[in-house]
Amino acid sequence: MITILLFILLMIGPSLAFGQGGPLKKATFLPQWKPQAQFAGYYMAKEKGFYKRNGIDLTILQGGPDRHASVYLTKDRTDFATLWLSTALRMQESGQPIVNVAQIIQRSALMLVAKKSSQIRRPEDLNGKKVSLWGDDFQIQPKAFFKKYQIHVRVIPQSFSINLFLRGGVDVASAMWYNEYHTLLNSGLDPEDLITFLFHEHGLNFPEDGIYTLKENFKKDPALSCSFARASLEGWLYAFSHTEETLDIVVRQMLQAKIPVDRIHQKWMLTRMKELILPGGTPTAMGVLQPTDYDRVAQELKRAGLIRRSSDLNHFFVRCVEDVSK
């Protein structure tokens, strides 16, 4: 608890003056999906006034399949958005200048799941199996995983539902640890019934949600971007320390968006988010994009032919919050 309090002071200290003595700066933020506990930290930062204390009058937009965060960001229809690191690197390669002002998720949650009844135990056992994958960037890690273990699989397109896997239509399915994996458990399967392949456990950690803004907008007002990053991280720490209050706010956001609510599922998601954002249990490197992770993702994208080059990390990531572990 002391470490967390010290970290909050380090975050909010430089920003206290920014929010005092002047009008609030209007800004918008677009998460890459609909309201759920995956974005609880931002809801709590707004609810508890952390953005206002940092001088920001924030509007949180609703993401989803019809509102791509990458499109909204590059068309300047939002000031800030969350993106996967792999997505951001591909955008940069295509000439869309964006910068990462805080790397929120430190450990990848993407995984493959199989039933023990399929006799799959090791990566090599996937050879020749039917594996359902989501599209676009969701396929980068699985394909790197297959290449690492010299596996040849039959790729089947996967929708937002995992019903095909549950009905036995595929041997292996894609899942996010904080979402679809729990859905499988809720369907009646026990953890002992499943075999999981978390990519970060196989040397393929691709950090997911980070906070991005246009480089041009950052240059115009770097204080706004860094204040947004600090307030967001403070919101996440508050969310992790006030679980039930946070779930109340998440549920309210979901109901307002007319999304079916399962509070138990949202609690699972929030707990997993804490483990993904604070892998060591403390916020020592919270918000920092690690060079090893950046290089790993860039190299895998190059091997896959998805990018030809990547910029220096210092041109891609802005250290708005210091790594207090150093």
The pLDDT score that the predictor gives to residue 20 is: 53
The pLDDT score that the predictor gives to residue 66 is: 86
Predicted confidence band of residue 325 (pLDDT cuts 50, 70, 90): very low
The pLDDT score that the predictor gives to residue 226 is: 97
Who wins on pLDDT, 305 or 227? 227
Strand-pair category, 110-115 with 194-198: antiparallel
Any idea what DSSP says for residue 64?
Answer: B
CATH homologous superfamily for the domain 2-106+207-316: Periplasmic binding protein-like II (3.40.190.10)
What is the per-residue pLDDT across 262-289, written as a single tens digit (0 to 9) for each? 999 999 999 999 999 998 877 778 999 9
Residues forming beta bridges with residue 176, ordered by sequence position: 110
What is the per-residue pLDDT across 111-133, written as a single tens digit (0 to 9) for each? 999 999 999 999 999 999 999 99
Predicted confidence band of residue 136 (pLDDT cuts 50, 70, 90): confident
What is the per-residue pLDDT across 62-115, written as a single tens digit (0 to 9) for each? 998 888 899 999 999 999 999 999 999 999 988 999 999 999 999 999 999 999
The pLDDT score that the predictor gives to residue 12 is: 46
Domain pair 2-106+207-316 / 110-202, same fold: yes
For the chain, what are the domain ranges?
2-106+207-316, 110-202
d(CA 116, CA 315): 45
The pLDDT score that the predictor gives to residue 21 is: 56
**Which overall architecture, per CATH, does domain 110-202 show?**
3-Layer(aba) Sandwich (3.40)
